[in-house]
Chain A
Amino acid sequence: MLRRLQLSLNKEQIKYLAILSRMDIQDSEIKDVVDKLSRIVEFVDQLQAVSTEGTEPMAHPLEQGQRLRIDKVTEDNQREKIQLNANETNNGMYLVPKVID
């Protein structure tokens, strides 16, 4: 059963989507986001009218399955080179804000 779809989004929904996406949206941005996202949702909503009964969803453009490989180490350890991109490291570890009090 499909839930009745919402054709325009409101400010609260946008704020909730921003939380789900872990992405701050500034108050100054919000009007523009509400407006444009509502238009996008309205636009893609035309798909609802298409009859797709008996049609399998398409998961791969070439209808190929997943290729498997032998589980073996193929990479050299280059931690130092890789960590040159990190903002904060200590002793080969990545540092993040305190997670547990």
Chain B
Amino acid sequence: MIIKEIQNMTLCALKQGMKDKDFTSLEITEVLLSRINGLGATLNAFITVTAEQAIKEAKDADKLIATGKDKPLLGLPIAHKDLFCTDGVLTSCASKMLHNFIPPYDASVVKNLKASGAIMLGKTNMDEFAMGSSNETSYYGPVKNPWNLDLSPGGSSGGSATAVAACLVPAATGTDTGGSIRQPAALTGITGIKPTYGRVSRFGMIAFASSLDQGGVFTRSVEDAALLLGEMAGFDENDSTSVDVPVPDYLGGINQPVKGLKIGLVRQHFDAGLDDDNAIAVKEALDVLKDQGAVIIDIDLPNIELSVPTYYVVASAECSSNLSRYDGVRFGYRAENYKDLNEFYCKTRGEGFGAEVKRRIMTGTYVLSAGYYDAYYLKAQKVRQLISQDFKKAFEKVDLIAGPTTPSPAFSLGAKMDDPIEMYLNDIYTIGANLAGLPGMSIPCGFVNGLPVGLQLVGKHFGEESLLQCGHHYQQATDWHLQIPEQFK
């Protein structure tokens, strides 16, 4: 009985339960670890389970709780995407290249959440180096969608999304470069937020595309997202792009009314390409917000369809530069047979990287190479400016922008692996926020053919509060976020 309750509980409910002495942190940890290793094993959501360490930390948390100590996340279990460096724990980025990498330090996100009392249950599976939208590029094999094991959970943070959706853990971290938090959150029926660029430190987050990458969270309620984001966000000396803006009390401010809130609906998002039933679910979600007093206004983002090609130039260019560090010398995979230093590099990188990563490195190398730099890279940075200005103009009229998170619900594993463009187009609604550095959130807003779909909310720079308030009010009026896949109830 109690086991059933624990697995379905949110962070906020677990916190209250520990306070009321209904159960201990150790009991929560044991229930979830047994789910991860039992029922959850088929999902392939984890690369590493840190059971021993988690049990020790839970016992320590219980001791602190017994003495009346309190911390915002004390004794609460979470998982980290295997892209955040964890001191002494394998951090593979789901790549053969880092299959043996044990970081000597914690990422700032990991450090912050640890300091707030959170317990790490393990490291989650993902697309290799976060490059993918289906979690199929992982060196450790694809993650399965708990709503239907033949389907992809989306990517790149597919393991984190699946772990939260299947109630293996109440919350997990993720990263979002082009939609890697919001898209899997939508396809697995949970809440996922990517904050403003610079809001969460990138220190110790393995880099893919540095001007786009941003850490965030997956939870089963907006309230939990507010709690967790508040603890992980903040200025960090160690990240030169971290922004020194105070972190508001996200959780405390979540009940602010949405009456009068102006929500923009992007006309271009409802053009061809969007599944009809998905469009209906999004429009119905907006009706709910309208009933709560929000005002819906049609807006235009005229250049938004250029966001995908722009992204694939900028992100690939940054990736080719960032991934040049993997040379087999100081850490990571090293080839065995080579004649000289050049062959050593070429074999190490040729054998250590998977196909999608290689394609992106070569695309990036191409767009940055002599004679093509102006035509591709510089051009893309200019179009990025146009897209960013479109958002700026839109935000003169509205407080938030709403629309679908993805064009359709979850797709079959293998369905898009042969067509990179079709795979890339899955991120058509999410990429704009990364290019412009804006915060974005996906919350469950209905089902299409028995599969969850998401409502995306995009805010102004550092406008996380209004996203959370709006999402929280929506979840007070609906129960989409409370649905759990049958097999994992």
Q: A interface vs B, CB < 8 Å?
A: 2-3, 5, 9, 14, 17-26, 29, 32-33, 36-37, 39-41, 43-48, 50, 52, 55-62, 64, 66-67, 69, 78, 81-88, 94, 96-99
Q: Provide the B206-222 mask, 1 if CB < 8 A to any CB of A, else 0.
A: 00000110000000000
The 0/1 profile, CB within 8 Å of A marked 1, for residues 363-403 of chain B is 10111010110111011111111101000000000000000
The docked-state distance in angstroms from the alpha carbon of A20 to that of B320 is: 10
B328: Cβ under 8 A from any A Cβ: yes
Do A37 and B363 have beta carbons less than 8 Å apart? yes
Asked whether any CB of chain A lies closer than 8 Å to the CB of B84, the reply is no
Give B382's nearest chain A residue, CB to CB: A52
Q: Which of B331-362 contact A (CB under 8 A)?
A: 331-332, 334, 338-342, 344-347, 349-351, 353, 355, 358-359, 361-362
State the Cβ distance, A25 to closest chain B Cβ, in Å.
Answer: 7
1/0 contact string of B96-113 vs chain A (CB within 8 Å): 000011101000000000
Select from chain B the residue with minimum beta-carbon distance to A24: B350
Chain A residue contacts of B341, Cβ below 8 A: 96-99
B13 within 8 A of A: no
Whether B437 sits at the interface, judged by CB under 8 Å, is: yes
Q: Are B384 and A58 in contact (CB under 8 A)?
A: yes
CA distance A1 to B383 in the complex (A): 19
The CA of A39 and the CA of B422, in the complex, are separated in Å by: 11
Judge whether B363 and A86 touch: CB under 8 Å.
no
CA distance A41 to B198 in the complex (A): 30
Q: Which residue of chain B has its CB nearest to the CB of A13?
A: B366
> Which of A5, A36, A57, A97 interacts with B420 by CB under 8 Å?
A36
Interchain pairs with CB closer than 8 A, number: 178
Whether the Cβ atoms of B346 and A22 lie closer than 8 Å is yes
- Shortest CB-to-CB span from A74 to chain B, Å, is 8
Contacts of A22 in B (CB 8 A): 324, 327, 342, 345-346, 349
| Given A40-B421, A44-B309; A50-B331 close (CB under 8 Å) | no
- CB B206 to nearest CB in A, in angstroms, measures 14
- 11 additional A-B residue pairs with CB within 8 Å, beyond A36-B359, A37-B359, A97-B341: A2-B374, A5-B372, A21-B320, A41-B363, A43-B312, A47-B376, A52-B379, A61-B212, A61-B435, A62-B461, A82-B330
Enumerate chain A residues within 8 angstroms of B310, measured Cβ to Cβ. 47
Residues of B within 8 A of A87 (CB): 328-329, 334
**Contact string, B66-105, partner A, CB cutoff 8 A, digits 1/0?**
0000000000000000000000000000000000111010
Chain B residue total in the interface (Cβ 8 A): 76
Q: Which residues of B contact A60 (CB under 8 A)?
A: 211, 241, 437
Q: How far is the CB of A48 from chain B (nearest CB, A)?
A: 7
What's the Cα separation between A50 and B353 when bound, in Å?
34
Q: When the two chains form the complex, which single residue of B211, B240, B371, B383 contacts A52, counting CB atoms closer than 8 Å?
A: B383
Contact A62 B382 (CB under 8 A): no
A23–B346 touching, CB < 8 Å = yes
The smallest beta-carbon distance between A101 and chain B, in angstroms, is 10
Q: In the complex the two chains form, is B388's CB within 8 Å of A61's CB? A: yes
Contacts of B231-272 to chain A: CB distance below 8 A:
237, 240-241, 243
Give bound CA distance, A19 to B350, whole Å. 11
CB–CB B334/A57 < 8 A: no
B313 within 8 A of A: yes
